[in-house]
Amino acid sequence: MPSQSKHEWKEEDFEIGPMLGKGSFGKVYLARTKEHQYICALKCTSDKVPLNKVLRELRIQSKLRHPNVLRTLGCYEKDIHHKKRLVIIMEYAACGSLDQIMRHGEYSNGFEERIASNIIKQVMSAVDYCHDQNIIHRDIKLENVMVGYDGQIKVGDFGLAKFSLDWNETYCGTGEYMAPEFYKKERYDKSVDYWSVGILTYELLCGHTPFWRKEEQGISYGGLMLKRIINLEYEMPGHFSDDAQNFIKGFLQLKPQDRKSFKQALTHPWIINASEPKSTTVSDVTERQESLDGLMEKLSI
């Protein structure tokens, strides 16, 4: 990416391609810089998202420099329907999110353990780095873990992240991934991220979170799931290895102080024993994804 102040970027600097996704935050587009042909993603924020929240996310993510953290490269303003919108220039994760890979492919029932272990190793490395920068993520889930063109994991979406490792009280996150202390309306710290990674690990291995029940989908489901979370009621599928089960249990502890830290978990046998060369990591399961050249052909340029 060319070195340029965030105040210097403008819409005319980019060739903008297809929309990659949309949500409550706004829309994300594939793009390429005209001068250097650098491929990136443009996140056009919604006017429904408070500006202070957008600026907080931008401030946090601009501070981070880690190979497993989706990088924010700059921003600019644009007028849409006579309203100012902030457009955030981001690193492009060519293979999409883990959610897209699992929900729309042959991996809906989970990955094999060595691939899941490699993914979790990179997620822990990224979030542990964030903790070292005094940042709690607070929304680790499939949708927020991206995969780069070479299969490298990229943790993104810092919309709920916060500068503070001390006790917090704000209720936020995504239901199935939220630690018990959220539901009990207790103060919490960075250990809520440990819990979420435990949930994510379980999901990567079987395709659903530990407190989810297919047969209970309906109006009362949320309450039933909540009860199981605060009582730590879940079962390990029979195909999980002993190391995988032990690894997950290290994070899914009701008392925050009993949870393994990421630094401790990075030395766990399930992580160490599953280490593989890069060619046998998550890039294996994204080989059927569109190539970067194919994506850029959609730009018609």
Assigned domain for 2 exists = no
**Residues in CB range of 1: below 8 A, 6 or more apart:** 33, 36, 38, 40, 73
pLDDT of amino acid 204: 97
Assigned domain for 30 exists = yes
Same domain, 212 and 104: yes
Question: SS3 for 51-115, per residue?
Answer: HHHHHHHHHHHHHCCCCCECCEEEEEEEEECCEEEEEEEECCCCCCEHHHHHHCCCCCCCCCHHH
- Which pLDDT band, with edges at 50, 70 and 90, does 145 fall under? very high
Same domain, 274 and 193: yes
Same domain, 87 and 145: no
Domain of 25? 11-92
Assigned domain for 79 exists = yes
Same domain, 42 and 108: no
Encode pLDDT of 175-203 as tens digits.
889 999 988 888 889 999 999 999 999 99
Active-site residue identified among 13, 128, 139, 157: 139
92, 124, 149 - which closes a domain:
92
**Calpha distance 129→299 (Å, rounded):** 35
Residue 241, judged by CB atoms within 10 A of its CB (0-12, 13-18, 19+), counts as middle
Assigned domain for 52 exists = yes
Residue 235, judged by CB atoms within 10 A of its CB (0-12, 13-18, 19+), counts as exposed
Among 11, 15, 10, CA closest to 34: 15
Return mean pLDDT, the chain: 85
Same domain, 206 and 76: no
Which has the higher per-residue pLDDT, 148 or 5? 148
Assigned domain for 293 exists = no
Q: Is 70 exceeded by the pLDDT of residue 294?
A: no
Same domain, 278 and 135: yes
pTM (two decimals): 0.85
pLDDT of amino acid 171: 66
Q: Is 60 exceeded by the pLDDT of residue 154?
A: yes
Q: Is 60 exceeded by the pLDDT of residue 281?
A: no
Mean pLDDT of 236-264: 97
Rg from Cα positions in the chain: 20
Same domain, 55 and 159: no
Active site residue 139: yes
Same domain, 85 and 165: no
92, 118, 143 - which closes a domain:
92
Query: Which residue type occupies 200?
Result: L
Same domain, 231 and 191: yes
Same domain, 20 and 136: no
Encode pLDDT of 63-81 as tens digits.
899 999 999 988 888 877 6
pLDDT of amino acid 31: 95
Residue 189, judged by CB atoms within 10 A of its CB (0-12, 13-18, 19+), counts as middle
**Calpha distance 99→51 (Å, rounded):** 27
**Calpha distance 281→115 (Å, rounded):** 5
How many folded domains does the chain comprise?
2
Same domain, 76 and 185: no
Encode pLDDT of 91-112 as tens digits.
999 998 999 999 877 888 999 9
The domain spanning residue 236 has which CATH number?
1.10.510.10
